[in-house]
Amino acid sequence: MKSQAIALVVSFDADGNLLLLKRNRDTHCGDLWSFPGGKIETGESPKISAKRELLEETGLEGDDWKFLGDSTFEYPDRLLHFFLFSCQCDDLESLSCESSYTWVKVGKLVDYPMPEANRALLQMIQTTLKG
């Protein structure tokens, strides 16, 4: 079974909305919504990976980076270990997403179909925001 370390970013805009990207149809969990992020490269820390992935996928750099937690999820063909970070993206002039995107209030995240692995991540986000 393939095992991958993945860095994901919960990006907040000035109004407290979260950025969601629609996964390409031809990828794992295609046509579902997810957070910017991707594979952690060899020799790269999860935080550096999160910053790189956010920039590559959205053109945004983000400020006030925080580690929210990690989670492991097993699909039939792969084991994924997620490292979840949040950041603030107040300057959206450089926003240029490689796929469809939307900004969503935290309470509306359940209205967007996401990969099964995101369930634990959504709980982390809710817990962090309540704290």
At 33 the pLDDT is 93
List the chain pLDDT tens, one digit each, 131 residues: 788 889 989 999 999 999 999 987 777 666 789 999 999 999 999 999 999 999 999 999 999 999 999 999 998 888 999 999 999 998 899 999 988 999 999 889 989 998 888 888 888 888 777 65
Evaluate whether 23 touches 38 at the Cβ level (below 8 Å).
no
What is d(CA 34, CA 9) in angstroms, rounded to the nearest whole number?
10
SS3 43: coil
How far apart, in Å, are the Cα atoms of 112 and each of 2, 54, 96, 97?
Answer: 27, 20, 21, 18
Given this structure, which CATH class describes domain 2-130? Answer: alpha beta
pTM for this predicted structure: 0.90
Count, residues in the chain: 131
Q: Return the closest-CA partner of residue 98 out of 63, 59, 124, 64.
A: 59
* H-only helix segments in 66-105: none
- Cα torsion angle, 39, 45, 49, 52, sign: negative
